[in-house]
Amino acid sequence: MKIRPTTKADTGPISAMLGALRDAGKRIRPCDPDFVRATYVSNPELVASQVAEDDTGRILGLQVLLLPGPDDPFDVPEGYGNIGTHVAPDAARQGIGRRLFAATLQAARAAALPALDANIAADNDDGLTYYEAMGFRTDRTGEGRIVKRLILS
């Protein structure tokens, strides 16, 4: 398994991986290729987008780091990063999220971001525990969401 930057050719496989998460009840946002391209692959707000690929070329995970503009719907302060993580349901708890975060943290430090926010559904125990394990702590809550923050500077 390797972690590498996302390319346009990953759009379809990422869409399939997100579809599997949706089918497992772990995702409600869109999964279609147009959404994936616009949000995770060719989004001008992206600071980094990394995939985890197994030895057969299958995409097992995706982590994105965005620098949202001033009108961010998740109230990420300007200049702060916004992180999102997705690991295929049949590949969870194998350390993929941890390895993705090592690469993303490097990109965040290279971009001199002062902090990262992760916006998680309040009932998503896996996501909350994962971000806690990566060093994030609760910053704010509301409307069924919990935002966890990691201060970098």
Ligand X SMILES: CC(C)(COP(=O)(O)OP(=O)(O)OC[C@H]1O[C@@H](n2cnc3c(N)ncnc32)[C@H](O)[C@@H]1OP(=O)(O)O)[C@@H](O)C(=O)NCCC(=O)NCCS
Give me the torsion for CA of 25, 26, 28, 34, rounded to 10°: -110
Nearer to ligand X among residue 87 and residue 105 (C-beta):
87
Residue 29: strand, helix, or coil? coil
> What H or E segment, with its residue span, contains residue 34?
helix 33-36
105 binds ligand X (CB under 6 A): no
40 binds ligand X (CB under 6 A): no
Distance CA 34, CA 30 (A): 9
Identify the residue among 102, 110, 122, 133 touching ligand X (CB under 6 A).
Answer: 133
CB of 148 to ligand X, least distance (A): 9
Distance CA 142, CA 50 (A): 29
16 binds ligand X (CB under 6 A): no
141 binds ligand X (CB under 6 A): no
97 binds ligand X (CB under 6 A): yes
What is the Cα Rg of the chain in Å?
14
Distance CA 99, CA 105 (A): 10
Work out the number of other CB atoms within 10 angstroms of the CB of residue 69: 10
Residues facing residue 150 across a β-bridge: 116
Q: How many residues line the site for ligand X (CB under 6 A)?
A: 19
98 binds ligand X (CB under 6 A): yes
136 binds ligand X (CB under 6 A): no
Identify the residue among 96, 108, 113, 147 touching ligand X (CB under 6 A).
Answer: 96
Q: Which residues are near ligand X by CB under 6 A?
A: 21, 26, 85-87, 92-98, 120, 124, 126-127, 129-130, 133
